[in-house]
């Protein structure tokens, strides 16, 4: 970057939903210019800036920053590491990459004296991760939780409020640019798991392996489940949860049944709401669009502007202990299981049950998250959700 002019040249990798949103948002920013765009196949927009060769970007000394918007692990990982090794700052919205390679990416940025930022990787347009690391600078973050997947929220909201069909609403979410290229990542909960890992890593100054965070998705939800919830004044939302438990972290993802008193029950369409509790500050909540072209592209450009303006981001600077393992054996609450009428279920945890429409609707006594997720894994098409107490 020319320090006198404070002008920053940017390369965008990938011209899909987020990449094209970032290109548009840059137009409203001062002293930022997109000078190269990596595409896999030519696109009609920004034709003069396109290249299909990453080396055109890595070897261009005039490019100060690379914005990775292609998604997935490979070749995004190699491109991002390569950019940092060539002295370029990196921003990304790619939660799959950040969740799986957090430490490696952080180390590479430090080693090469560049900034690596990833605010839109959890919460889309919400400056959640930026504020989470900020909150941790002089506080101990005790827990984080919330709705972090716009696609699932859109599906659940429209099933609840409009009685729409799951597959139809998922198609809409894809058309609106909310869903991942493989929407299984959204509806099976993996995208939320990744955002949970990234949030927990920043909150608790740790590195949690993805596969230690158990996940229940929304892909088996039926109109019958929604009818049951509506009759009982409950709203279903997919939530991530992570909290400090001594020298461990409890972290899990599950559909959650909320009363109207819960803030998350009022979160509609592609919006997210994500919250932290700090020992000093108490609860803080953040609300906004969690997916979509302009919210996410704009958040990415805010990261770029922060780098240009020298605003620090210190993911490892929070205070407090650094727990190293995930343990869900001490967190418990009641669960909802909707299973086939003929399916067996252990007697001991059942608190109440209804049988109708060929299904058993079971509410359990409080169960540990680890026991409930293990029990859920025995049923192929069951819908299982936790009750928020
Ligand atoms: N959509 C959203 O609301 C949000 C997305 N994200 C994340 O942002 C990232 C991008 O998502 P999104 O924009 O929705 O995805 P899209 O599929 O819309 O865009 C990805 C783009 O990258 C291109 N691409 C893929 N591989 C390469 C490659 N090797 N070289 C060059 N270009 C390539 C694709 O090209 P082609 O057209 O040829 O397929 C496509 O245009 C993902 O990590 C996603 O998880 C994060 C927050 C919100
Ligand atoms: N598919 C994701 C996109 C943003 O992260 C979502 O629906 O939230």
Instruction: Write out the two tokens for 101.
Output: 């390679």
Pocket test for ligand 2, best of 118, 291, 295 (most atoms within 8 A of CB): 291
**300, 18 Cβ separation under 8 angstroms:** yes
Its pTM stands at: 0.97
**269, 162 Cβ separation under 8 angstroms:** no
The interface predicted TM-score of the complex, written ipTM, equals 0.99
Q: Is the CB of 124 under 6 A from ligand 2?
A: yes
- Domains in the chain (CATH in brackets) are 8-125+293-318 (3.40.50.720), 131-290+329-387 (3.30.360.10)
Instruction: Write out the two tokens for 279.
Output: 């020992």
Taking the centre of ligand 2 as the mean of its atom positions, its distance from the CA of residue 155, in whole angstroms, is 12
Pocket test for ligand 2, best of 150, 169, 217 (most atoms within 8 A of CB): 150
Taking the centre of ligand 1 as the mean of its atom positions, its distance from the CA of residue 20, in whole angstroms, is 10
Taking the centre of ligand 2 as the mean of its atom positions, its distance from the CA of residue 186, in whole angstroms, is 7
User: Which residue, among 29, 36, 115, 129, has the nearest Cα to 80 in the 3D structure?
Assistant: 115
- Separation of alpha carbons 91 and 138, rounded Å: 25
pLDDT at position 4 is 46
pLDDT in tens, the chain (389 residues): 555 458 999 999 999 999 999 999 999 999 999 999 999 999 999 999 999 999 999 999 999 999 999 999 999 999 999 999 999 999 999 999 999 999 999 999 999 999 999 999 999 999 999 999 999 999 999 999 999 999 999 999 999 999 999 999 999 999 999 999 999 999 999 999 999 999 999 999 999 999 999 999 999 999 999 999 999 999 999 999 999 998 899 999 999 999 999 999 999 999 999 999 999 999 999 999 999 999 999 999 999 999 999 998 877 644 444 676 999 999 999 999 999 999 999 999 999 999 998 999 999 999 999 999 999 999 999 999 999 97
Question: Which of 88, 95, 195, 388 is labelled catalytic?
Answer: 195
The gap from C-alpha 159 to its chain's centroid, in whole angstroms, comes to 22
Q: Is the CB of 290 under 6 A from ligand 1?
A: no
* Residue 50, CA distances (Å) to 42, 70, 285, 352 in order: 7, 14, 40, 61
Specify the residue with its C-alpha closest to ligand 1, atom 46.
93
């Amino acid at each position: 970057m020319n320090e006198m002019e404070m002008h920053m040249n940017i390369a965008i990798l990938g011209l899909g939903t987020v990449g094209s949103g970032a290109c548009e948002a840059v137009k409203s920013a001062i002293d930022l210019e997109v000078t190269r765009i990596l595409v896999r196949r030519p696109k009609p927009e920004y034709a003069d800036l396109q290249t299909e060769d990453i080396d055109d970007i890595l070897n261009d000394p005039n490019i100060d920053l690379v914005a990775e918007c292609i998604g997935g692990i490979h070749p995004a990982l190699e491109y991002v590491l390569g950019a940092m090794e060539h002295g370029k700052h990196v921003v990304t919205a790619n939660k799959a990459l950040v969740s799986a390679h957090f430490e490696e990416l952080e180390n590479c940025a430090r080693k090469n004296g560049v900034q690596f930022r990833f605010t839109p990787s959890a919460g889309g347009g919400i400056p959640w991760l930026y504020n989470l690391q900020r909150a941790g600078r002089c506080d101990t973050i005790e827990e984080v939780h919330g709705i972090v997947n716009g696609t699932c929220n859109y599906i659940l909201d429209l099933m609840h409020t409009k009685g729409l069909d799951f597959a139809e609403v998922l198609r809409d979410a894809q058309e609106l640019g909310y869903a991942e290229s493989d929407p299984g990542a959204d509806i099976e909960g993996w995208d939320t798991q990744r955002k949970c890992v990234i949030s927990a890593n920043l909150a608790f100054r740790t590195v949690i392996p993805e596969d230690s965070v158990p996940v229940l998705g929304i892909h088996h939800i039926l109109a019958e489940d929604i009818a049951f919830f509506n009759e009982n004044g409950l709203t279903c939302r997919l939530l991530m949860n992570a909290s400090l438990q001594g020298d461990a972290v409890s972290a899990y993802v599950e559909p959650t049944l909320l009363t109207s008193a819960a803030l998350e029950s009022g979160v509609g369409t592609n919006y997210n709401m994500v919250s932290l509790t700090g020992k000093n500050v108490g609860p803080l909540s953040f609300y906004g669009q969690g997916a979509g072209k302009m919210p996410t592209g704009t958040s990415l450009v805010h990261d770029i502007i922060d780098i240009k303006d020298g605003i620090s981001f210190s993911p490892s600077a929070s205070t407090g202990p650094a727990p190293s393992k995930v343990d869900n054996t001490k967190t418990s609450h009641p669960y909802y299981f909707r299973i086939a009428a003929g399916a067996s279920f252990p007697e001991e945890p059942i608190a109440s049950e209804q049988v109708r429409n060929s299904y058993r609707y079971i509410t359990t006594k409080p169960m540990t998250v680890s026991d409930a997720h293990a029990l859920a894994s025995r049923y192929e098409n069951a819908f299982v959700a936790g009750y928020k107490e």
